[in-house]
């Protein structure tokens, strides 16, 4: 319980920090960019219209500290402002429209990389110094260093442009009706393959290497040596004895890779024009749509922080040492 | 926590660690004889040379658009030309300089910040540790590229130098965490306690006694930092935050994306820069892997139990 409260406290503290960062950053820059943008309308609109727009977008000339608390209040109550570029739309409704695509692509890719990477890691750790154990780590080092935008580019070039096996851009084709129907679903799948593979390529290596070294550590434990000595079959030894324990720390590595996967997804979405949150972020920054930029950063931060919290909770259920502080 | 054995000793001549000094030499010479480390060093050296010799090697001005557009690679243009008739090989060579420089600035700066934060937090403990650790935990979990994009959207028209600095300012958290836990485990060792008792100042203990005992972690952390900074720079430049007047590898990818390299089938435009990033990254990983195997005996010899090495720290 104490552990839970501590983690919950950190979750709230870090979300507060992300909000504060969001508030401070634009105000730290020379010339408040939001006000500069607002200045564009100066002279083009009558003062009353300007005044009502100010209210609409939530600008105020109140002292900084009052602005800050107003801002925090707005964030907490879900009033994240109105987008400049998609004018009457609220930031929250735009995010709700784009976020599922990213969560879907990143989620599926993460599940695939976790499962495949873990099994590969178990395999090469068991066959220590075999041919795969020599080759695979080097291959994964290379894969880990590939920039997401480049792997998307190459995949797109090979499978989209040269071979024309898969559609090149967007997350579904425009001539299908959105909904639960065959053509739409198959178009979503065919559009999603390359983006998912892109994230998988960079994501899987961490799982392989992590699992490999965890396995090597557990295989060195006395209880495994003992089990081997008393004649437990290799299969049982690998999966019931060693891998079960070696898999535990892998759960925390979700949290570690999450940040880079989310960042990679931003690049991937740009290349594929995939309608996810990263694509929206790029559009928002290039059109200087600051309420949207802030909203997207906040939602990305909240999603990753909450996921981290969930993983912490899960891990503490699986490994009680974490809760009692025995691990350190 | 499997605290990595701090087998690397103090450089301070007065430090009571004669035994460990021998082992340190062993570690570094093992590193330079490790096949993977050598492979990594060779790859890195190749690109560093390319970057240093850019003014000599680049046959043309990377910005001059005076050639026939979209030519495939030939002897005149080793990597072909862009859609505006620029020589890609010249851009690539100059790009090596920019990208490696940003990578070093970003990696170096994040190393310094991480080292200061981590060592101070780990050494002092108490509420200072609690505060600094919370701050670095937040930076650790916030997706760094999203944060970088948000910062870049406010700071307009940045140069590679500023990009490197922003990357360094946001990317130190991982190092801080590693240094913190390592400092915490070192701070209770006999030689640190002895140094404290002899009246050494905290700063001297941190930099003279503790830091030299983490030199392998410092090296690993620097390499990871440079790798991360390079990938971040490639991403930011690809999204168009670096301006088109510089030629980094990321900018080449950005131009290729905007210039329709895909639809005109100009693979020679986008393949080299990404491949180069991946190769430099691989060289960092190879060296890290070698370092890991040398300093972590468990990975080197399979199925061997961990031995207590505390006895070696001697007083």
Place of tokens 């850019």: B54
pLDDT at B102: 93
B-chain residues near A218 (CB < 8 A): none
pLDDT digits (tens, 9 = 90+) for B244-277: 777 889 888 888 888 877 778 788 888 899 999 9
Examine the pLDDT at B181 and tell me if it is beyond 70. yes
**Does some domain include residue B102?**
yes
Rounded CA-CA distance B234/A123 in Å is 34
pLDDT at B314: 33
pLDDT at A60: 63
The predicted model gives A20-25 an average pLDDT of 86
Task: Identify the DSSP state of B81.
Answer: B
A37 falls in which pLDDT band (50, 70, 90)?
Answer: low
Helix, coil or strand: residue A90: strand
A-chain residues near B137 (CB < 8 A): 10, 14
pLDDT digits (tens, 9 = 90+) for A107-154: 999 999 999 999 999 999 888 878 888 888 888 888 888 888 888 888
In angstroms, what separates the C-alpha of A92 from chain B's closest C-alpha?
A: 18
Residue of B nearest to A30 (CA): B155
Helices (H) and strands (E) in chain A, counts: 15, 0
The predicted model gives B164-193 an average pLDDT of 89
pLDDT at B7: 42
Question: Which residues have CB under 8 Å from B194's CB, separation 6+?
Answer: B16, B315
Examine the pLDDT at B306 and tell me if it is beyond 80. no
Residue of B nearest to A127 (CA): B302
**Does some domain include residue B136?**
yes
pLDDT digits (tens, 9 = 90+) for A159-184: 888 787 877 777 777 777 777 777 77
Residue of B nearest to A269 (CA): B239
Answer yes or no: do B274 and A141 touch at CB < 8 A: no
Answer yes or no: do B239 and A282 touch at CB < 8 A: yes
Share of chain B above pLDDT 70, in %: 85
Task: Identify the DSSP state of A41.
Answer: T
The ipTM (two decimal places) reads: 0.83
B179 falls in which pLDDT band (50, 70, 90)?
Answer: very high
The predicted model gives A189-202 an average pLDDT of 88
The reply to whether A146 touches chain B by the CB within 8 Å rule is yes
**Does some domain include residue B14?**
no
Rounded CA-CA distance B286/B45 in Å is 13
Residues 192-251 of B with CB under 8 A from A: 227, 231-232, 234-235, 238-240, 250
The reply to whether B69 touches chain A by the CB within 8 Å rule is no
Answer yes or no: do B257 and A266 touch at CB < 8 A: no
**Does some domain include residue B41?**
yes
The reply to whether B273 touches chain A by the CB within 8 Å rule is yes
CA within 13 Å, CB half, B104: 9
The predicted model gives B16-26 an average pLDDT of 51
pLDDT at B261: 76
Question: Which residues have CB under 8 Å from A22's CB, separation 6+?
Answer: A294, A297, A298, B150
Average pLDDT in chain A: 82
Examine the pLDDT at B77 and tell me if it is beyond 90. no
B313 falls in which pLDDT band (50, 70, 90)?
Answer: very low
Q: Which two tokens stand for residue A193?
A: 């393959």
CATH class given for the domain over A95-324: mainly alpha
Examine the pLDDT at B2 and tell me if it is beyond 80. no
Residue of A nearest to B267 (CA): A157
Answer yes or no: do B145 and A266 touch at CB < 8 A: yes
Share of chain A above pLDDT 70, in %: 88
B45 falls in which pLDDT band (50, 70, 90)?
Answer: very high
**Does some domain include residue B203?**
yes
B29 burial (CB, 10 Å; 0-12 / 13-18 / 19+) is: exposed
Examine the pLDDT at B6 and tell me if it is beyond 50. no
In angstroms, what separates the C-alpha of A181 from chain B's closest C-alpha?
A: 31
B-chain residues near A225 (CB < 8 A): 303
pLDDT at A244: 85
Domain region containing B263: 34-48+89-297
Answer yes or no: do B286 and A286 touch at CB < 8 A: no
The predicted model gives A300-314 an average pLDDT of 88
CA within 13 Å, CB half, B271: 12
Answer yes or no: do A147 and B145 touch at CB < 8 A: no
**Does some domain include residue B29?**
no
**Does some domain include residue B70?**
no
Answer yes or no: do A297 and B141 touch at CB < 8 A: no
Q: Which two tokens stand for residue A212?
A: 């490999």
Rounded CA-CA distance A136/A145 in Å is 14
> Which one of A138, A219, A300 has the shortest CB-CB distance to B146?
A300
Helices (H), B159-266: 160-170, 173-187, 190-197, 202-204, 215-238, 249-258
Number of structural domains (chain B) is: 1
The predicted model gives B72-80 an average pLDDT of 79
Numbered ranges of CATH 1.10.3720.10 in chain A: 95-324
Examine the pLDDT at B302 and tell me if it is beyond 50. no
Rounded CA-CA distance B276/A162 in Å is 23
pLDDT at B26: 67
pLDDT at A45: 62
Distances (CA, A) of A29 to A21, A98, A203, A299, B80: 12, 28, 35, 22, 41
Q: Which of B34, B43, B146 has the most A C-beta neighbours within 10 Å, making it the best mutation to test the interface with A?
A: B146
Least Cα distance to A311 among A239, A248, A246 occurs for A248
**Residues linked to residue A45 through DSSP beta bridges, in sequence order:** A42
Rounded CA-CA distance B291/B251 in Å is 32
The predicted model gives B76-99 an average pLDDT of 84
pLDDT digits (tens, 9 = 90+) for A76-98: 888 887 887 777 788 888 999 89
pLDDT digits (tens, 9 = 90+) for B106-162: 999 999 999 999 999 989 888 988 888 888 888 888 888 888 988 888 877 678 888
Distances (CA, A) of B226 to A303, B104, B194, B277, B280: 27, 6, 36, 11, 10
pLDDT digits (tens, 9 = 90+) for A63-75: 778 888 888 888 8
pLDDT at B107: 95
Q: Which residue has the higher pLDDT, A327 or A110?
A: A110
Examine the pLDDT at A314 and tell me if it is beyond 60. yes
pLDDT digits (tens, 9 = 90+) for A218-255: 888 888 889 889 888 888 888 888 888 888 888 877 77
Which CATH number fits the domain that encloses residue B250? 1.10.3720.10
Assess contact for B278 and B195: CB atoms under 8 A: no
B-chain residues near A22 (CB < 8 A): 150
Q: Which residue has the higher pLDDT, A184 or A208?
A: A208
Answer yes or no: do A150 and B144 touch at CB < 8 A: no
B57 falls in which pLDDT band (50, 70, 90)?
Answer: confident
Question: Which residues have CB under 8 Å from B58's CB, separation 6+?
Answer: B89, B90, B93, B94
Residue of A nearest to B37 (CA): A138
The reply to whether B43 touches chain A by the CB within 8 Å rule is no
Rounded CA-CA distance B212/B208 in Å is 7
Answer yes or no: do A262 and B263 touch at CB < 8 A: no
> Which one of A13, A157, A262 has the shortest CB-CB distance to B143?
A262
């Amino acid at each position: 319980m104490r552990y839970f409260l501590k983690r919950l406290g950190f979750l709230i503290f870090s979300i507060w920090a992300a909000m504060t960062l969001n508030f401070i950053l634009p105000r730290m820059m020379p010339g408040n960019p939001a006000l500069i943008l607002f200045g564009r309308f100066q002279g083009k609109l009558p003062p009353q219209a300007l005044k009502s727009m100010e209210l609409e977008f939530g600008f105020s000339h109140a002292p900084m500290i009052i602005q800050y608390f107003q801002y925090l209040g707005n964030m907490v109550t879900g009033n994240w402002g109105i987008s400049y570029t998609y004018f009457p739309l609220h930031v929250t409704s735009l995010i709700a429209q784009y976020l599922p695509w990213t969560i879907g692509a990143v989620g599926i890719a993460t599940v695939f990389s976790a499962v495949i990477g873990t099994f590969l890691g178990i395999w090469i750790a068991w066959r220590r110094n075999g041919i795969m154990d020599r080759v695979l780590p080097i291959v994964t080092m290379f894969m880990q260093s590939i920039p997401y935008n480049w792997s998307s580019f190459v995949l797109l070039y090979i499978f989209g442009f040269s071979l024309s096996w898969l559609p090149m851009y967007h997350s579904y084709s425009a001539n299908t009706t959105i909904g639960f129907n065959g053509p739409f679903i198959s178009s979503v799948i065919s559009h999603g393959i390359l983006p998912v593979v892109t994230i998988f390529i960079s994501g899987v290596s961490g799982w392989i290497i992590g699992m490999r070294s965890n396995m090597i550590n557990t295989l060195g434990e006395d209880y495994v040596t003992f089990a081997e000595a008393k004649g437990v079959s290799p299969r049982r030894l690998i999966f019931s004895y060693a891998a079960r324990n070696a898999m535990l720390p892998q759960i925390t590595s979700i949290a570690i890779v999450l940040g880079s996967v989310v960042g990679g997804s931003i690049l991937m979405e740009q290349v594929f024009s995939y309608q996810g949150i990263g694509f929206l972020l790029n559009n928002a920054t290039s059109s200087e749509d600051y309420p949207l930029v802030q909203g997207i950063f906040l939602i990305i931060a909240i999603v990753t922080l909450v996921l981290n919290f969930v993983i912490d909770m899960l891990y503490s259920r699986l490994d009680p040492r974490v809760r009692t502080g025995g691990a350190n | 926590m499997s605290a990595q054995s701090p087998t690397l000793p103090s450089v301070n001549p007065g430090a009571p660690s004669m035994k460990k000094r021998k082992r340190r030499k062993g570690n570094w010479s093992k590193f330079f004889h490790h096949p993977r480390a050598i492979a990594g060093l060779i790859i890195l050296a190749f690109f560093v040379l390319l970057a240093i010799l850019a003014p000599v090697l680049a046959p043309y001005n990377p910005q001059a658009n005076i050639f026939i557009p979209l030519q495939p690679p030939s002897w005149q243009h080793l990597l072909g030309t862009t859609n505006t008739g620029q020589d890609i090989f010249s851009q690539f060579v100059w790009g090596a300089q920019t990208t490696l420089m940003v990578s070093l600035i970003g990696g170096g700066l994040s190393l310094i910040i991480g080292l200061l934060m981590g060592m101070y937090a780990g050494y002092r403990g108490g509420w200072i540790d609690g505060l600094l650790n919370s701050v670095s935990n937040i930076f650790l979990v916030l997706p760094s590229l999203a944060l970088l994009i948000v910062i870049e959207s406010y700071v307009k028209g940045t140069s590679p130098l500023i990009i490197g600095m922003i990357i360094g300012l946001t990317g130190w958290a991982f190092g801080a965490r590693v240094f913190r836990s390592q400092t915490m485990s070192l701070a209770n060792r006999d030689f640190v306690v002895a140094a404290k008792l002899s009246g050494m100042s905290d700063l001297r203990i941190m930099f003279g006694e503790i830091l030299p005992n983490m030199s392998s972690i410092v090296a690993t952390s620097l390499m990871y930092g440079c790798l991360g900074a390079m990938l971040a720079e490639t991403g930011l430049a690809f999204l168009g935050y670096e301006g088109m007047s510089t030629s980094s590898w990321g900018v080449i990818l950005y131009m290729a994306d905007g210039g329709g390299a895909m639809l005109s089938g100009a693979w020679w435009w986008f393949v080299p820069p990404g491949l180069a990033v991946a190769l430099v990254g691989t060289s960092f990983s190879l060296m890290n892997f070698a370092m890991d195997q040398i300093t972590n005996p468990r990975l080197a010899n399979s199925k061997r139990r961990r031995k207590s090495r505390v006895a070696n720290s001697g007083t």
